[in-house]
Chain A
Amino acid sequence: MSTGTGRNGGRRGLAGLSELLFGPSFRHGVHPPDSKSLTAALPIRRMPFPDEVVLPLRQHTGKPSRAIVQVGDRVERGDVVGVADGYVSVPVHASASGTVTDVGWWPHPDGSMDTAVRIQVDRFAPQLPRPRIVPHWEGLSADEVRRAVQDAGVVGLGGAAFPTHVKLNPPADQTIELLLINGAECEPYLTSDHRVMVEHPDRVHFGIRIMMQCLGVDRAVIGVEKNKPDAIARLRETIPADLDVEVIGLTVKYPQGAEKMLIKAVTGREVPSGKLPMHVGAVVQNVSSIAAIAEVFETGYPLIERIVTVTGPGVRKPQNLVVPVGTKLRDVLEFCGGLAPDATEIIFGGPMMGTPQPNLDVPLMKGTSGVVVLTESESARPQVMPCISCGRCLAACPVFLNPSRLGQLAQLADFERMAEEYRLNDCMLCGSCSYVCPSNIPLSQMFALGKSGLRRVQQLAKEKEAEKAREEAARTAADESPDKVQVVA
């Protein structure tokens, strides 16, 4: 079986040498210490049901689901508590049997308050979902598969939580040639995808089989960073004979798991700016999402639990856990022995792009791939200094932007110039520039602000335009019929 070399006619020069030595990759990027050894070898364990689960209705990208339960309702594990509200939306299911105690505001992991369904878990319930009819996937049309995936509430489990069924539905004029499975897991500390690949390679291949049928593609590639040799080996030795699946060991480099970087590494093609992977004929799915899809078609159960890496030097017993969706951070930390005395930062997701949590009552969601607790020594940062134009951010940026210049423009709040001249919208907020900046300038934070600032500026411009058009219309109306001026005014 070929490794990655020689693909796309091979790369020449230094890039070719690096591909030969370290596996295919993209240009630029950074090398944070991967810190995965805390949990990489620990088998996945199941966490006991907590006393309460809190299910935010906004757990995915797109429209939040709509609650269909009321306070006092009895729900069984797997029952729908919120239905999909539109096409880019998925339902939310009860992750434990119990009683609905509240449908109202609750702290959301993104830092805001949002509507959530609270369920008091019934301690004596057997927690077995209602029996389900498991659809035989081979007899299903692509539409039916997508419907089943949506009904099961499956979203991308890599972090962005984009509804999976939408990705499985490329427009008719786009030919999809390649199903690309993202097992890079380039974020430091996280090992949940790694454990899924090691412990459930069959599930991964089963999920791939269903996806390939649904998309009508006959080739799939699993991209795994080379720091997971056991996962690569397990996946390779379990490939079913009738399935064209290739496992590629990729360079260990952040952000190797970003969709566009992964596609570049595997196919050599760049997704055009502002376009989606499907424009180069690829559909990318996270490996854990694929395993979740397989589970849906194996058991009929919806997405009500996920594998979470609880790790970092700030937690006493790091482990890979199966956690019911909606379990509160406090319960998870308690099960992992609690926080070390010097814990300073709790992060949902990986340390490069994850969100910090100030509140131990926030629930873990479908998209929460990890809980990373850092201590002072990892989270300490040098003092913020002026930019000295060292150029490290340019050398780090995987999409070849000029973060230094963008940072200067952000300080001037010149969002339009950031977007037009320096292509702010190509920034995916991976944080590589902030990571390497010796002056510790919060570049990616400034770009996040810049993006929202830009939206506001554009909104204002649009409103002004509309206002002008209205005035113009009024003036013409007035010109045409001078007697109506007063009505217009």
Chain B
Amino acid sequence: MTPWRGTGWGERAGTSATEDPSLRLMPSPHLHAQDSTARIMWTVVATLVPVVLASVWFFGLGVLLVIGAAMAGTMITERAFGPGGALRDGSAAITGLLLGLTLPPGFPLWMAFLGGAFGIGFGKLIFGGLGMNIFNPALLGRAFLQAAFPISITTWPAVRTGGEWLTLRGDLLAPPFMGAGEVDVVTQATPLGLWKFEGEIAGVWDLLIGSTGGSLGETSALLILLGGVYLAAKNYLNWRIPVGIFATVAGFSVLFRLIDPTFPGPLFMIFSGGLVLGAVYMATDMVTSPITNGGAWIFAFGIGMLVVLIRGWGGLPEGVMYAILIMNALVPFIERITQPRVFGTEPKAKQAEGAA
């Protein structure tokens, strides 16, 4: 059947030239940019592969098990409770991968799995699924783990020395709910821990390369930055957020260093801990960051300030996770006050002046 003949208005039968195209009726625009949400998500996953490989290099193949467990937690939960076909959009894979990268190399697998399941279930699906969540699901999963298993999540096995590729370090295979910390493991304090509790400052080069203790993705700042630059160039993340965070953190640490010379310098503050991973991959989560560019700057400033405050005066050595989660909660408000000026209207300030 040809769609137009059914109208009763086509008097002539279609000639050979115009016969039987099954015409489609779609609203304009009839063209679409060659991009999709799934492609954005999977590209983000792809840019994280070098980071994963670096962490395999530093901590051995065991890290793949940690990341795998976290991803299994997110993806199985998404598959079980999310809408059909939701795995294909890649968002659950990112959540699992990012969660895995925030965990210590010897983290018990069952805990990683649980963290992933919590992140997706209570961080995303409960709000209505993709696009509806307020908090970054990976960070919510990690916050849950930090509250539930404070010891395991702060046990940092030392960086691999020599050929222990296959050694499973730490409590990786600890059976569920059997407690932790029973396996002997060579640990190494993180640079931030060293600063906070010992007053030592690690070298910037070590931080940049990642040959320091820490969670999986805290290690190679350089690879994370490269991934971020690629994503920013493809417009897959808003560059204003990481740039704003780095600038704020650097600014505050310079300021505090002027007051107290034992305060670490800006490079140490930026490249230690989870700041680079958080600024490039977590704070830029499109769903949980402001959609307006003005809002992105405010959001970035807030995160940078909170990170410095928590690191400097909080009880924890690291504050990126809480800084981002706190700012996530403020996003709707930030968006409301940073609506763009519409073409052909006066700026808001001028409007207010006019009214006053």
Contacts and interface: CB of A to CB of B under 8 A. Distances in A.
Interface string B120-153: 0000000001111000000000000000000000
A82 interface: no
Contact of A401 (B26, B130, B132, B342): B342
B161 interface: no
A351 interface: yes
A337 interface: yes
Contacts of A360: 4, 10, 14, 18
B130 A385 contact: yes
Contacts of A398: 343
A272 B344 contact: yes
Which of A337, A426, A439 has the largest count of B CB atoms less than 10 A from its CB? A439
B42 to A, nearest CB: 12
Given A351-B28, A360-B14, A386 B132 contact: yes
Range of interface residues on B (Cβ < 8 Å): 35 or more
A404 B32 CA distance: 17
B343 A426 contact: yes
A392 B40 CA distance: 12
A388 B287 contact: yes
Contacts of A391: 238, 286, 291-293
Nearest to B17: A338
B38 A382 contact: yes
Interface stretch (A140-148, A204-212, A300-308, A339-347): A339-347
Contacts of A271: 344
B281 to A, nearest CB: 15
Contacts of B131: 385-389, 439
B7 A107 contact: yes
B162 interface: no
B343 A260 contact: yes
Which of A32, A382, A399, A422 has the largest count of B CB atoms less than 10 A from its CB? A382
A156 interface: no
Interface string A323-360: 00000001001100111010111110001111111111
A444 B343 contact: no
A105 B10 CA distance: 13
B31 A352 contact: yes
Given A344-B22, A404-B291, A426-B343, A359 B31 contact: no
Interface of A is mostly: loop
A435 B32 contact: yes
Interface in B1-39: 3-4, 7, 9-12, 14-18, 21-33, 35-39
A416 to B, nearest CB: 17
Given A356-B25, A440-B36, A351 B30 contact: yes
Nearest to B33: A436
B203 interface: no
A339 B21 contact: yes
Interface string A135-158: 000000000000000000000000
A440 B23 contact: no
B341 interface: yes
B29 A358 contact: no
B289 interface: yes
B345 A272 contact: yes
A33 B344 CA distance: 28
B296 to A, nearest CB: 8
B21 A344 contact: yes
A274 B39 CA distance: 38
Contact of A353 (B28, B33, B292): B28
B327 to A, nearest CB: 14
A438 interface: yes
Contact of A394 (B17, B130, B291): B291
A387 B36 CA distance: 11
A401 B341 CA distance: 8
A76 to B, nearest CB: 25
Contacts of A423: 342, 345
Given A345-B23, A388-B287, A391-B291, A426 B28 contact: no
Nearest to B237: A390
A400 B18 contact: no
Contacts of A274: 344
Contact of A426 (B3, B10, B14, B342): B342
A361 to B, nearest CB: 5
A352 B3 CA distance: 23
A23 B48 CA distance: 39
B124 to A, nearest CB: 11
A361 B24 contact: no
A330 B291 contact: no
A354 B9 contact: no
A435 B31 contact: yes
B5 to A, nearest CB: 9
A358 B292 contact: no
A273 B345 contact: yes
Interface string A18-46: 00000000000010110000000000000
Contact of A339 (B17, B27, B28, B35): B17
A400 B22 CA distance: 37
Interface string A257-284: 0001000100000111111000000000
Given A270-B344, A400-B341, A401-B342, A444 B291 contact: no
A458 interface: no
B33 A399 contact: no
Interface of A: 30, 32-33, 106-107, 188, 260, 264, 270-275, 314, 330, 333-334, 337-339, 341, 343-347, 351-361, 372, 374, 378-383, 385-392, 394, 398-402, 404-405, 422-423, 426, 429, 431-432, 434-436, 438-440, 442, 444-445, 448
23 contacts: A273-B345, A333-B17, A338-B15, A339-B18, A345-B24, A352-B28, A356-B25, A358-B25, A361-B10, A374-B30, A381-B32, A382-B38, A385-B130, A391-B292, A400-B340, A401-B342, A402-B292, A402-B340, A435-B32, A436-B33, A438-B37, A444-B29, A445-B27
Which 4 pairs from chain A and chain B are nearest by CB? A338-B17, A431-B29, A386-B131, A399-B343
